């Protein structure tokens, strides 16, 4: 299959039609028209076979996840998804695989209203995907990692550790009941980017980040950027029943703290905004829980029922 046939058959003309796309796929550049009073939020992620996903990962799940992890970055900034580009590198153009991959990609694109406006295809020894997403956020309202202050409360959405355990189930280093196995692997394959929650946090959260590399690593980015420390009450970490039923409590907490790829939101909120937070996130339809507080130090302190706690693992590092 030739390059342009591949593009036309599996990607061109699919996904949501947005009025702000002036000129999409089919030229040297795409043309878009940002909304007045909005700033652009742009993020790029690359997924490499053998590094970020197994060679036998279902193509439909891979297509969905390739976009979902990028949308999570927009969620962490409080941005509305708008446009994306896709750089697709493959050893060969397998029609059945491309059909499933593009179906998964556009499942996410249709749901979150993001239009594919261009990209590139090339041959490669292994499968690789680079997606660049563009979002819009009201000027001056974007969430960042830089605003946490002493006394702010630390929150997370959803449950933590499920994706990392799902990965270990796929690797064969953990076992669990069949019903839990299906749920946990699905959590790894199909993360839910908290796009609406991120938008609901604008004007309320003092800082935010998505949990891609593990809570310890990602909270560390907020602490470094904001010049503060934090106390985390490990007993308050939100754990799914599937996680608690599958491993010991210490291991469950380690997964929650360092496992990564949950793509939940971690954010800080001043005391004065806690009441408004309850209302905002209830409208966003997502569960959230307070897990700690920002302090004047420069270190992250983990405590389990008042005692120092050290997790078994470390967060993901790219190099």
Known binding residues: 28, 43, 45, 52, 73, 119-120, 145, 210, 212-213, 261, 316
**Residue ranges at the known binding site for ATP:** 119-120, 145, 212
**Residue ranges at the known binding site for Mg(2+):** 28, 43, 45, 73, 120, 210, 213
**Residue ranges at the known binding site for substrate:** 52, 261, 316
Task: Count the Cβ atoms, other than its own, within 10 Å of residue 272.
Answer: 8
Pairing of strands 300-304, 115-123: unpaired
Give every CB contact of residue 203 below 8 A, 6+ residues apart in sequence. 141
Q: How many helices (H) and strands (E) does the chain have?
A: 10, 13
Pairing of strands 21-23, 153-157: unpaired
């Amino acid at each position: 299959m030739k390059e342009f046939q591949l593009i036309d058959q599996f990607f061109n003309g699919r996904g949501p039609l947005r009025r702000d796309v002036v000129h999409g796929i089919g030229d040297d550049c795409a043309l878009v028209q940002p909304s007045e009073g909005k700033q652009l939020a742009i993020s790029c992620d690359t997924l490499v076979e053998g590094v970020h996903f197994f060679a036998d990962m279902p193509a439909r799940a891979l297509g969905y996840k390739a976009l979902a992890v990028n949308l999570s970055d927009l969620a962490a900034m409080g941005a509305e998804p708008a446009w994306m580009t896709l750089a697709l590198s493959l050893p060969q153009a397998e029609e059945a695989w491309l059909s499933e991959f593009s179906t998964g990609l556009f499942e996410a694109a249709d749901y979150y209203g993001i239009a594919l406006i261009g990209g590139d295809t090339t041959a490669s020894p292994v499968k690789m995907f680079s997606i660049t997403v563009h979002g819009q956020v009201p000027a001056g309202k974007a969430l960042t990692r830089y605003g946490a202050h002493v006394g702010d409360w630390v929150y997370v959405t959803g449950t933590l550790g499920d994706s990392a355990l799902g990965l270990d189930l796929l690797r064969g280093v953990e076992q669990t009941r069949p019903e839990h196995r299906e749920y946990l692997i699905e959590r790894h394959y199909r993360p839910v980017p908290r796009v609406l929650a991120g938008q609901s946090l604008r004007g309320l959260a003092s800082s935010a980040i998505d949990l891609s590399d593990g809570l310890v690593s990602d909270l560390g980015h907020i602490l470094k950027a904001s010049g503060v420390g934090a106390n985390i009450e490990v007993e308050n970490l939100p754990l799914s029943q599937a996680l608690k039923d599958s491993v010991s409590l210490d291991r469950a907490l380690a997964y929650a703290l360092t496992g990564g790829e949950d793509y939940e939101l971690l954010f800080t909120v001043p005391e004065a905004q806690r009441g408004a937070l309850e209302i905002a996130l209830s409208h966003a339809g997502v569960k959230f829980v307070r897990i700690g507080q920002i302090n004047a130090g420069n270190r992250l302190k983990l405590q389990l029922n008042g005692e120092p706690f050290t997790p078994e693992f470390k967060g993901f590092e790219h190099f």
